[in-house]
Amino acid sequence: MIEIIPAIDIIDGRCVRLTKGDYGTKKVYDASIEEMVSSFASCGVKRIHMVDLDGAKISSPANLKALESAANVLTKEYGESVSIEWGGGISSSEALESALDAGANYIIIGSLAVKQPELFDNWLSKRQGEMILGADVRDGKVAVKGWLEESLYTVEELIDRFIKSGLDQTICTDISRDGLLQGPSTDLYVNLQNRYPNVCITVSGGISSMEDIENLERKNLKRVIVGKAIYEGRITLKDIEKWSQNE
């Protein structure tokens, strides 16, 4: 079954959601980061998606304390059964090591993959299985720097660039759908997964209901990130728990 990965986006150490990547649409949620990771882990998920939005904007980690707190909660309560995939501002080897030291199990790389592809090649070869390409698209092109800038590359061009270096995980967000609760761009993900059968394509953006997830499951997709639908009550923790028990 498709794996549900709940999302936590962070600004100023707090859990937020944006719409279409627009920082001006920020909505802050009351629950602490620690409370969120604990509640998600209690549902039986295997992985939690966390993004440092401040870090993405300034190209340097800004919320590592939140990562460390989340990792400590998970380790204390769940051992090594729940992993964290972390992204936002990882633009140097020092930043990469800092995020891993703070408790990240997987690192999402977006902007650096576009701007310093040779360095990402190096990380892929040295850290097989830990690196995830973040290839988020707007109007067919990959956006970088917290989705504030558009590159010249398509997601296919980026995957083609790095697959020979061992790329096996890619998260692709359709920015035009992100936070709108209008359903994902299913054809985009089906086409990517069919084209790259040895790369796990993670669906991100637009998930509005369990029906969306059930449809992705029928299309044989492997992972899906769910954010706003959880925070707005469209998908409940009970729904996630029931799905996780059936995986």
Contacts of 203 (CB under 8 A, 6+ apart): 172, 184, 186, 189, 216, 221, 223, 224, 225
Q: Is 212 a catalytic residue?
A: no
Tell me the C-alpha distance between 193 and 146, whole Å.
24
Q: Is 129 exposed, middle or buried (0-12, 13-18, 19+ CB in 10 A)?
A: exposed
Question: 10 Å Cβ neighbour count for 200?
Answer: 17
Q: Is 186 exposed, middle or buried (0-12, 13-18, 19+ CB in 10 A)?
A: middle
Amino acid sitting at position 85: E
Tell me the C-alpha distance between 121 and 117, whole Å.
6
Kindly name the residue from 12, 22, 121, 136 that is annotated as catalytic.
Answer: 136
In the three-class reduction of DSSP (H, G, I as helix; E, B as strand; rest coil), residue 195 is classed as: helix
Q: Which of 72, 84, 10 is nearest to 40 (CA)?
A: 84
Q: Is 136 a catalytic residue?
A: yes
Output 122-126 pairs: Cβ under 8 A, ≥24 positions apart: 123/93, 123/96, 124/162, 124/165, 124/166, 124/167, 125/165, 125/166
Catalytic residues: 9, 136
